[in-house]
């Protein structure tokens, strides 16, 4: 309920009103209310923070308020104890120091390094506390928050009361862009699948199946190829790891398809299936023009391969390059790098990328779900190829990554904590 009040208050009163409405959370004497409300706010406000204009633009700044309040509240619950966020701290320290030393963008860029650790602290600690208090209640809370968010998103399909919800005939719902909604649906798909496997919720298996179908439908409406194929990779990986015989059959099939692919026209196959408009076959070969950008980025990386040039440098560089050599108007792909690995190399170099890899390795090693961890890792690694979402922590996606890993790491036990 408080989440709804703050969101509506921000829509009509802006950032200041929304911030004032957050204050009762601080003075409440109910710890469980505080942590649950802040968790729900953290998820939804970070989702809506993808909007740079319109009625939800206030969430851009509100994210920082929610983060600060969450840190303050969680300090009373031994924030650093048994918190696996410590494994992203080396990365956070290294990239902050690199940014301070070489970035042309100042303190704003340096703060981006610290934010990885702070966001991880909040998300991992919240999950740890709420799972220890009452796992079933917490899992139901996550499902309820996601259900409400996507219910409003679906409502906009039929009643677009917030204005235009399409960009170039691609559905963006409550997000600022279609790819954003596709990625939020993709990560939510993994979250609900992990919770379903916990088998400790009030929701039936049929509900989870229906929810997954809805999420896939939303991904299709966004026309996000990356999100769609990432979900498919997640599901296929789950099945291949479970059934060794199926793994052998699929591998043989893939080798066969690869062998004959050279003699077939990909464009003709797509057109024959009636998918040419959805898959945008005119841009399949160059990843919507992004390979042009990638070539330019690779050249720049060679100038400072080990340390990069600080956080935010990826967008700074490509915008400067496009201003000088492309001009206006220019194609959309010249406004970003569109690849997490290239963005990280531009920003923090090989040293920073190794620090980030250490975090992912530790999450993988600590996961208690041996099949899911492989599928989730594959999904994340693939989705990062054509989007730079890993190069920031205050977006809608990194909190969901932390949530997915936390759900795999912190297992329900007899109630340890009373909130």
Q: What does the pLDDT read at residue 271?
A: 53
Confidence at 269, pLDDT banded by 50, 70, 90 = very low
User: Does the pLDDT at position 281 exceed 50?
Assistant: no
Mean pLDDT score of the chain: 88
Instruction: Give the model confidence (pLDDT) of 299-343 as tens digits.
Output: 999 999 999 999 999 999 999 999 999 888 888 889 999 999 999
pTM of the model: 0.91
pLDDT at 241 over 60: yes
Each residue of 187-200: pLDDT tens digit?
Answer: 999 999 999 999 99
Question: What was the pLDDT predicted at 270?
Answer: 46
CA dihedral 185, 44, 119, 378 (to 10 degrees): -10
Domain extents for the chain? 1-77, 78-409
């Amino acid at each position: 309920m408080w989440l709804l009040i703050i969101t509506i208050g921000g829509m009509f009163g802006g950032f200041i009103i929304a911030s004032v409405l957050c204050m009762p959370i601080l003075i409440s004497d109910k710890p469980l209310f505080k942590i649950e409300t802040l968790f729900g706010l953290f998820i939804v406000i970070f989702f809506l923070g993808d909007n740079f204009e319109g009625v939800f633009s206030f969430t851009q700044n509100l994210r920082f308020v929610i983060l600060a309040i969450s840190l303050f509240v969680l300090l009373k619950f031994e924030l650093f104890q048994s918190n696996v966020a410590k494994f992203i701290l080396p990365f956070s320290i290294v990239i902050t120091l690199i940014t301070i030393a070489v970035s042309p963008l100042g303190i704003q860029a340096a703060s981006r390094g610290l934010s990885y650790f702070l966001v991880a602290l909040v998300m991992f600690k919240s999950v740890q506390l709420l799972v220890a208090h009452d796992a079933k209640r917490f899992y139901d809370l996550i499902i309820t928050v996601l259900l409400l968010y996507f219910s409003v998103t679906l409502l906009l399909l039929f009643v677009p009361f917030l204005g235009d919800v399409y960009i170039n005939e691609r559905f963006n719902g409550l997000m600022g862009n279609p790819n954003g909604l596709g990625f939020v649906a993709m990560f939510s798909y993994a979250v609900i699948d992990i919770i379903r496997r916990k088998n400790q919720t009030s929701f039936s298996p049929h509900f989870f199946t229906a929810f997954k179908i809805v999420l896939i439908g939303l991904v299709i409406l966004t026309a996000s190829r990356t999100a769609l194929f990432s979900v498919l990779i997640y599901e296929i990986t789950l099945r291949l790891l479970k059934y060794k015989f199926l793994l052998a059959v699929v591998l043989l099939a893939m080798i066969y398809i690869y062998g004959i692919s050279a003699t077939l026209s990909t464009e003709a196959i797509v057109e024959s299936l009636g998918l040419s408009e959805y898959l945008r076959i005119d841009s399949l070969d160059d990843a919507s023009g992004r390979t042009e950008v990638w070539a330019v980025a690779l050249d720049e990386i060679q100038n400072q391969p080990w340390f990069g040039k600080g956080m935010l440098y990826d967008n700074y560089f490509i915008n400067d390059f496009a201003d000088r050599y492309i001009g206006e108007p220019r194609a959309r792909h010249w406004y970003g790098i569109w690849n997490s690995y290239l963005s990280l190399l531009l920003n923090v170099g090989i040293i920073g990328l190794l620090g980030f890899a250490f975090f992912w390795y530790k999450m993988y090693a600590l996961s208690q779900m041996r099949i899911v961890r492989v599928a989730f890792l594959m999904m994340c690694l693939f989705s990062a190829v054509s989007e730079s979402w890993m190069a920031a922590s205050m977006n809608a996606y990194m909190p969901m990554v932390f949530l997915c890993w936390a759900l795999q790491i912190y297992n329900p036990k007899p109630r340890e904590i009373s909130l």
